[in-house]
Chains A and B, each alone.
Chain A
Amino acid sequence: MSNFIELVKRDLALAFRQGMDSLMVVAFFVIAVVLFPFGVGPEVNTLAKIAAGTIWVAALLSSMLSLERLFQTDYDDGSLELLALAPVPMEVTVLAKVVAHWLTTGLPLIVTAPVLAVLMQLPEEGFGTLMVALLLGTPTLSLIGAVGAALVLGSRRGGVLLSLLILPLYIPILIFGVSAVDAAIFDQAVRPHLLILGALLVGSLAMTPWAAAAGLRQALE
């Protein structure tokens, strides 16, 4: 456990000192959402209708942005080999890196989302649900993304390949994330949607660290 915290602390320190990653993710998120009112026009009803979907799609894309670097820098400078040899199971290392990744990219997205929801005229009934849905959904994005990031290690143009691998797997999160917010707006039961998001999170928590660790071992051979 102390090793787990040690690993998370290291990744957080690296992220804060390199600085740009979190900021870029949030900036991309904001810009991507802001583009929509320009594209579809400032009509309130239209915006309100697409608000939840827009915010979710932008969140998916911006969390993609930083995934490529999840293992890449450690792979390039030899740290990944040493992490593999450290007396810490690779699965724990993966989980620690995912936690740090979520804290530096997922959490800022959640904090920014309400501001963008105002901009997109999201009805006020949807705000709370949007936050909870993002809170359940974004860690799953980081977890699934870690598998992709491990698989594309060492390949050229890994970023594009990563998007092709990972974005289709994000679809269930997108569907239930948006439908949860819609349910809240139209005064229907929100719980089932959130429960499915929770199930996706628990399921990927149980499976993806093993898959990603296997991918990393493969990359190191």
Chain B
Amino acid sequence: MTSLDKTQFQGENLMCVRGERTVFHALDFSLNAGGALVLIGPNGAGKSSLLRMMASLLRPAEGRMMWRANGGEDDVWDDVDLHGGRLHYVGHHDAVKPVLTAAENIGFWARLRGGGEDTIQDALGVFDINHLYDVPGRFLSAGQKRRVNLARIIAAPAPLWLLDEPTTALDKATIKRLEDAIQRHRDAGGMVVLSTHADVNTPGAEILDLADFASKALLDEHVMV
């Protein structure tokens, strides 16, 4: 993936306001092809909000995010559909439909991104759930649903992975499989941003502690009240 070698995803001076509360401000990040960014911080520090921002689901109150590739650069918010096409987002919900089989669930999302039937088996194999191929979603356990959701991002490639607590409900062996998948993705020039409380082994990853960007002025205000 030589075209990805010079790809860069960058955020400048980002500020997030939820309700009346400033969650974080003046946050910068920069991610190069093959890079990984691990978001840490206490509950409510804005890990999920930052990931949703990166996914263009949440508009920052301030700041901008740029995507650079092939010598060009564009603002993420100028064309949200374009940005959506180059990322995979794994949120708190697994988006597994109870009446569709595991393969149908993955196949639908893959086809929207131009993936084919053959990629489904491979994707299921990555998380060792080939035996769930035609099992409807309602019979899957929480961990199996999470695996199906993770297999979805393998089935159709996208350069940027945004994983919000991806290890939730996963057993140790599967976490290892996820680490391997992340490593392969990065070796191929992909980027990964993940938030986690558990330890996910991502060698050479940059750590971003969101507590560093919590709004100081606002904290003082709360103390006074």
Residues of A within 8 A of B (CB): 3, 6-7, 10, 13-14, 17-18, 76-79, 81-82, 84-90, 220-221
Contacts and interface: CB of A to CB of B under 8 A. Distances in A.
Closest 7 CB pairs of A and B: A78-B93, A87-B85, A17-B99, A85-B84, A78-B95, A79-B95, A86-B112
Contacts of A220: 57-58
A77 B109 contact: no
A87 B115 CA distance: 12
Given A78-B92, A78-B94, A88-B112, A14 B57 contact: no
B39 interface: no
A86 B57 CA distance: 12
A204 B86 CA distance: 32
Contacts of B93: 76-79, 81
B112 A3 contact: yes
Contacts of B92: 78
Interface residues of B, number: 26
Interface string B93-120: 1111101100010001101110000000
A77 B57 contact: no
Contacts, number: 67
B84 A10 contact: no
Q: Is the interface of B mostly helix, strand, loop or mixed?
A: loop
Given A78-B92, A221-B58, A13 B100 contact: yes
Contacts of B82: 87
A86 B109 contact: yes
Contacts of B94: 77-78
A88 B114 CA distance: 11
B99 A84 contact: no
B105 to A, nearest CB: 9
Nearest to A76: B93
A6 B108 contact: yes
B55 interface: yes
Interface of B: 55-59, 81-82, 84-85, 87, 89, 91-97, 99-100, 104, 108-109, 111-113
B39 to A, nearest CB: 18
A14 B108 CA distance: 12
A87 B113 contact: yes
Nearest to A18: B99
A78 B109 CA distance: 13
Given A17-B99, A77-B97, A86-B109, A221 B59 contact: yes
A90 B31 CA distance: 28
Contact of A86 (B84, B99, B104): B84
B81 A81 contact: no
12 contacts: A6-B108, A6-B111, A6-B112, A7-B112, A10-B108, A13-B100, A14-B97, A17-B100, A76-B93, A81-B91, A221-B57, A221-B59
A110 B41 CA distance: 56
A86 B113 contact: yes
A79 B112 contact: no
B56 A85 contact: yes
Contact of B109 (A18, A82, A89): A82
A87 B95 contact: no
Nearest to A89: B81
Given A6-B112, A81-B91, A88-B81, 20 more contacts: A3-B111, A6-B108, A13-B99, A13-B104, A17-B99, A17-B100, A18-B99, A77-B94, A77-B95, A78-B94, A79-B93, A79-B95, A81-B55, A81-B89, A81-B93, A82-B89, A82-B95, A84-B84, A86-B112, A221-B57
